Amino acid sequence: MIKKIYITSFLLILAVSAFPQRSPDYLQLVRAESELSTMFDSLYSEEVTGVSFGLYHSIDSLFEYAIGLPGAFEYEWSKLDKIGKLWSDDGIVRVFSWLYMASRNEYHYRSYIQVKKRRDSFEVFKLIPGDDEKITAHDFSQTIDQWHGKIYYGLVTKRFKRKTFYTLIGADFNDIHTSIKTIEVIAIQRGKPVFRDDQFLLGGAVQDRIVLEYSADLAASVRYNKELDMIVYDHLAPLHPIYTGNYQFYGPDGSYDGLTFEEGIWVQTEDVDARNR
User: Residue 36: which region, alpha, beta or left (left: phi > 0; alpha: psi -120 to 50)?
Assistant: alpha
Asked if residue 277 is part of any domain, the answer here is: no
217, amino acid identity: D
Phi-psi region of 77 (alpha: psi -120 to 50; beta: other; left: phi over 0): left
- Give the Å distances, CA to CA, from 46 to 41, 56, 97, 227, 238: 9, 12, 19, 40, 35
Task: Give the residues across from 236 on adjacent strands.
Answer: 252
Strand intervals (E) in 56-120: 84-87, 93-103, 106-118
User: Maximum Cα–Cα distance for the chain, whole Å?
Assistant: 63
**78 inside domain:** yes
Q: How far apart are CA 10 and CA 180, in angstroms?
A: 13
In a domain, 182, yes or no: yes
- Residue by residue, pLDDT tens for the chain (277 residues) are 445 544 544 554 443 333 344 467 889 999 999 999 999 998 888 655 556 788 899 999 999 999 999 999 999 999 999 999 999 999 999 999 999 988 878 899 999 999 999 777 899 999 999 988 899 999 999 999 999 999 999 999 999 999 999 999 999 999 999 999 999 999 999 999 999 999 999 988 999 999 999 999 999 999 999 999 999 999 999 999 999 999 999 999 999 999 999 999 999 999 888 765 5
- Which positions ≥6 away from 163 have C-beta within 8 Å? 187, 264
| Count of domains for the chain | 1
Residues in the chain: 277
- The verdict on residue 180 lying in a domain is yes
Between CA 45 and CA 152 the distance in angstroms is 21
Cβ atoms 238, 173 nearer than 8 A: no
Query: Domain range spanning residue 107?
Result: 3-269
